[in-house]
Amino acid sequence: MNLHFFRSLPGKYRSAFRNYYTLQNLLSIRNCALIFFMINISLRILTWSLPISVTKAQNFPEFDFTNWIYIILTPVFFLISHLLIGRIRKTKKATAGMIMFVFLFSFYIILCGMYSSFIVTSDPRNALTIYLIALCVISVMCVFEYDEVIVLLILTEVAFTAMLLYAHADATSMLYDQLISVVLLAGFYLISRYFFSYKASYYQQIIEIRSKNIEIEKAGEFKNQVLGMVAHDLRNPIGAVESIAMMIELDEIDEDMQENVNMIKESCAKARGILDDLLEAARNENINIVETEKTELNQYLKGIIEAWKIQNPIKIILTSAINPLYAQLNVEKFTRALDNLISNALKFSKETDQVELRLNQKDKLITIEVKDQGLGIPQDLVPHIFDRFSKAGRAGLKGEKSTGLGLSIVKQIIESHKGKISVNSVEGEGTTFLIQLQAGY
């Protein structure tokens, strides 16, 4: 925290900070005025309930008079502050009148505390508590610029001197009282500037955080635009290369050429997969809620398995404990998540292994497990597998490359369905991904 005991806030923050703290000052004044009014009303009720002999006590007439003054004036400050709060919230800008009003209320409270000390006894050294409380309340609740604090100190000291003269104090008493007042005002100055520094530092941090957030949002938008352009510009040449490879296949080619053509087609498919992963990560980045429909999970999972059986020799089976079983799914996105999990399971499994999808329900919680008998995940990598561009990404048994995005996409999609995903893996024995969803009847 930067301390501003003898200086103001830098110019680039000063105007905005003034608008901010003026609103806070007005809110504090409204609350303070309400509390001060209630205190005086309570004192007035108390005097009415006390014996008549109390009214003959020393300085009671002065107390009675000032109490009525406080009861009349304080609601005026409350009403004005309420009106000014509405105005500054609408315009978002502090005016000189608002700042002057805060200054006047602060001086009013200090005068009230000061005069109350003189009412208790003509020698304020013996009863400075109320004066001290008034100074502390204003220094903590209100924020003032450096020059405003100086002016408030001067006016307070002039008012204190005038009250000493009114009390007809002797020269020695006046000197002692002035020294005490100077000490109190010095404390008021230090406390006021400390709270100014604290609130100014807090405000600067808020502004910097907002600025960083705006930069991050702009960077995110720019990233999505770049990804979109990359996807558009790369899909066309990849598609052209793949088309040429397919045209070559139409002619009679030898075995070596066929192998080269197959490599070209596989490379194009991998390139499209990487583009799909990048675009899916960008699309899902800020999506928390997706449109869903009631889906019967047994038939849904069977359809996914049938699609995978066409292109892969590894056995994929479904084990279901409940049929039918319904959940609210965005079929397109959820299929993307399951395809990623199945693809990972196949990538790290031998052709003699099998991949199992297990479907179950306990109470209102549906569980979908994707279990393989493959290599498993090293324990030191497990905490990082759902990170974007994760370092936990590994090549498959056939050398399949990993972008480090697949499982982060899966997690985003599952969480957008208000679900959870976890993993349990043992090296050499296999991996199980567990998806938990709310049942949809």
pLDDT for residue 205: 83
Q: With CA atoms as reference, report the closest residue to 331 among 290, 367, 365.
A: 290
Separation in Å, CA 65 to CA 60, 69, 111: 9, 6, 15
Phi and psi of 298, rounded to 5°? -60, -50
**What is the torsion angle, in degrees rounded to the nearest 10, for the CA atoms of residue 240, residue 244, residue 250 and residue 253?**
-150
For residue 36, give every residue at least 6 positions away whose Cβ sits within 8 Å of its Cβ, in sequence order, or none.
70, 74, 109, 112
Give pLDDT tens digits along the chain (441 positions): 566 666 666 666 778 888 888 999 999 999 999 999 999 999 888 877 766 555 555 666 777 788 899 999 999 999 999 999 999 999 888 898 999 999 999 999 999 888 887 776 544 554 577 888 888 888 888 888 888 889 999 999 998 888 888 776 677 777 888 888 888 889 888 888 888 888 888 888 888 888 888 888 887 777 767 766 766 677 778 888 888 888 887 777 888 888 888 888 877 876 776 677 666 666 655 555 677 888 888 999 988 888 787 666 678 888 888 888 888 888 888 888 888 888 888 888 877 788 889 999 888 888 999 988 888 888 888 887 887 665 555 555 455 555 567 788 888 888 888 889 998 988 888 889 999 988 765
pLDDT for residue 417: 86
Residue boundaries of the structural domains of the chain: 11-216, 225-284, 293-438
The torsion region of residue 50 among left (phi > 0), alpha (psi -120 to 50) and beta comes to beta
The torsion region of residue 404 among left (phi > 0), alpha (psi -120 to 50) and beta comes to left
**What is the torsion angle, in degrees rounded to the nearest 10, for the CA atoms of residue 20, residue 23, residue 26 and residue 27?**
-110
Distance, in Å, from the CA atom of 348 to the CA atom of 71, rounded to the nearest integer, reads: 81
Q: With CA atoms as reference, report the closest residue to 62 among 122, 18, 9, 110.
A: 122
Is residue 390 helix, strand or coil?
coil
Distance, in Å, from the CA atom of 429 to the CA atom of 19, rounded to the nearest integer, reads: 64
pLDDT for residue 109: 92
For the entire predicted model, the pTM comes to: 0.52
Side by side, which strands form the sheet with 430-438? 315-320, 354-362, 365-371, 430-438, 420-426
The position carrying tokens 């105005």 is 87
State the greatest distance between any 2 C-alpha atoms of the chain, in Å, as a whole number.
124
pLDDT for residue 25: 92
**What is the torsion angle, in degrees rounded to the nearest 10, for the CA atoms of residue 114, residue 120, residue 126 and residue 129?**
-50
Positive/negative CA dihedral, 134, 140, 141, 146: positive
Q: How many CA atoms lie within 13 A of 396 on its CB side?
A: 16
pLDDT for residue 390: 57
Distance, in Å, from the CA atom of 311 to the CA atom of 352, rounded to the nearest integer, reads: 16
Hey, what are 441's tokens? 């009847």
Distance, in Å, from the CA atom of 97 to the CA atom of 84, rounded to the nearest integer, reads: 9
Distance, in Å, from the CA atom of 430 to the CA atom of 377, rounded to the nearest integer, reads: 8
Is residue 423 helix, strand or coil?
strand
Please state which CATH number belongs to domain 293-438: 3.30.565.10
Element (H, E) at 413: helix 406-416
Q: With CA atoms as reference, report the closest residue to 334 among 396, 275, 418.
A: 418
pLDDT for residue 403: 57
